[in-house]
Structure 1
Amino acid sequence: MTGVFDAQAVLFDLDGVLTDTAAVHRRAWSALFTEFLPAVAPAAAPYTDADYFALVDGKARAAGVRSVLASRGVSVPDGELDDPPDARTVHGLGNRKNVGFTEIIRGDGVEVFDGSLRLVEALAAAGVPMAVVSSSRNAVLVLDTAGLLGRFTVVIDGVVAHDERLASKPAPDMFLTAARGLDVDPVRTVVIEDAVSGVEAGRRGGFRVIGVDRGTGASALVAAGADVVVSDLADLLEDHRGRRRSAVAEEI
């Protein structure tokens, strides 16, 4: 299994990898398109969670909006990044989705996957540098709400990507920027991702990639370039303990 404890650093995606906010994103996207698509394309197929995994997951917000609209033959102007949520533009729709997302986060809080938290704590104890690389512009809010913000030396999110003109996933730019921030070699660094676009970005950047199957499907993650796929990051702890036990047995 691709090792994380012998890596120079580990770069985590956020939603669906560290926190269960991918489910919140799915709810917010569904609410947006379930209302919007019938109004502009009554004959279009209804929006489903399958659209989230195929067209939205892991992408920058505007890219997700464009992908879904294009899949239904709908076109609206891009507009401006600060368009109001009621604007019928790409950014307006993205901002409308974000209003729903932040309302859920502020009302319900953020759930951290237990196995992911245990892995982060074990890596910190082992002195392995860590970063978060997320297309979300809400990454800092989510990390802070979850009590995780102080665990990561570097956070490259949608805000940083916009300010530094970094191409979003599946381009490798955000991961490469995080590696430079940690002063590590991509070839000796592990990316952990649950989205096809994120796995592809890690592979294109030359990183070792671990996929986490939270609904995308192991075969899709492997096809995108994952070296290995797990269902829970606690599996990486078990693998590490197993290798340590084997090493001790060999010494004896």
Structure 2
Amino acid sequence: MLTDTALVHSAAWKQTFDTFLQSWAERHDQPFVPFDSGVDYHRYVDGRQRADGVRTFLASRGITLPEGSPDDDPDQDTVNGVGNRKNILVLQKIKEGAVRVYPGSVEYLKAAKAAGLRRAVVSASANCKDVLEAAGIADLLEARVDGLVARELGLPGKPKPDTFLHGAKLLGLPPESCAVFEDAQAGVAAGRAGGFGVVIGVDRVGQADALRENGADVVVTDLSELL
């Protein structure tokens, strides 16, 4: 949404799931069907908390794993273990400088700050703080609700609205007075479910119809279009 990390996440999910699925297929004498970085990513994992993404995608393949715990070893075949494998790959890319910002998003944030509008980031990622700092835009936001905060407070992730509602609470605003900006189907669904004043979808991958179907009032290709 603010930074171009979708390719990083998509590639990490594909590597993680393909390795798991190949092993699973061999152990259960089933054909190997790889993870689709387009369809599977946007339908099952984009915008969701890591464990929920693992759970949702594997369910689509008829696979159920034990939950495990957040500190599971990445070699364990649990929901959290598989998620931790993916997270290691993402952290490597962040350290390598694979994060870049969308200029239009930064331009919009700066304009919102200059206008005195309150600003919070709500992300399913547990690496949100690191990404914002690496991108140099942490100072443009007043509050952060990420995967770590959600886990600490027991907040269900998108498409449930709870993380967005907590973000509005941190800003001291009712949801009907807030706008949600999202590029994930699960995210716009969460904004709609939370009763937010307006839900704006940002389509950078050709999923405008899906964003509208999930609750976006307006769909743009870049936040600069709203200035």
TM-score norm. by structure 1 comes to 0.85
Which of residues 24, 34, 37 is equivalent to 2:21?
A: 37
CA RMSD of aligned residues (A): 1.0
- Alignment partners' CA distance in 2, 1:155 and 1:24: 21
Whichever residue aligns with residue 23 of structure 1, its letter is L
CA deviation after TM superposition for structure 1 residue 167, in Å:
1.1
1:26 aligns with 2:14: no
The equivalent residue for 1:10 is: none
CA-to-aligned-CA distance 1:49-91 (integer Å, 9 cap, x gap): 1100011011110011111211112222111110011111110
CA contact (8 A) 1:196 1:216 kept: no
| Stretches of structure 2 lacking an aligned partner (at least 5 in a row) | none
- Alignment partners' CA distance in 1, 2:134 and 2:97: 10
Q: What SS does the aligned partner of 1:127 have?
A: coil
CA contact (8 A) 2:14 2:35 kept: yes
Which of residues 160, 174, 184 is equivalent to 2:149?
A: 160
Whichever residue aligns with residue 104 of structure 1, its letter is K
The equivalent residue for 2:34 is: 46
CA-to-aligned-CA distance 1:9-46 (integer Å, 9 cap, x gap): xxxxxxxx100011110010011012110110241422
The higher-RCO structure (CA 8 Å, 6+ apart) is 1
1:59 aligns with 2:60: no
- Alignment partners' CA distance in 2, 1:180 and 1:216: 32
CA deviation after TM superposition for structure 1 residue 125, in Å:
1.0
Whichever residue aligns with residue 92 of structure 1, its letter is G
Q: What SS does the aligned partner of 1:108 have?
A: coil
Which of residues 115, 120, 137 is equivalent to 2:104?
A: 115
CA deviation after TM superposition for structure 1 residue 109, in Å:
3.6
CA deviation after TM superposition for structure 1 residue 172, in Å:
0.7
1:224 aligns with 2:214: yes
| Stretches of structure 1 lacking an aligned partner (at least 5 in a row) | 1-16, 238-252
Whichever residue aligns with residue 233 of structure 1, its letter is L
- Alignment partners' CA distance in 2, 1:185 and 1:131: 13
1:180 aligns with 2:169: yes
CA contact (8 A) 2:199 2:217 kept: yes
Whichever residue aligns with residue 235 of structure 1, its letter is E
CA deviation after TM superposition for structure 1 residue 97, in Å:
0.2
- Alignment partners' CA distance in 1, 2:32 and 2:59: 11
- Alignment partners' CA distance in 2, 1:142 and 1:235: 24
CA contact (8 A) 1:195 1:216 kept: no
CA deviation after TM superposition for structure 1 residue 214, in Å:
2.0
1:136 aligns with 2:125: yes
CA deviation after TM superposition for structure 1 residue 227, in Å:
0.6
The equivalent residue for 1:82 is: 71
TM-score norm. by structure 2 comes to 0.95
Report which stretch shifted further, 42-51 or 223-232. 42-51
Give 1 or 2 for the bigger CA radius of gyration: 1
Whichever residue aligns with residue 58 of structure 2, its letter is L
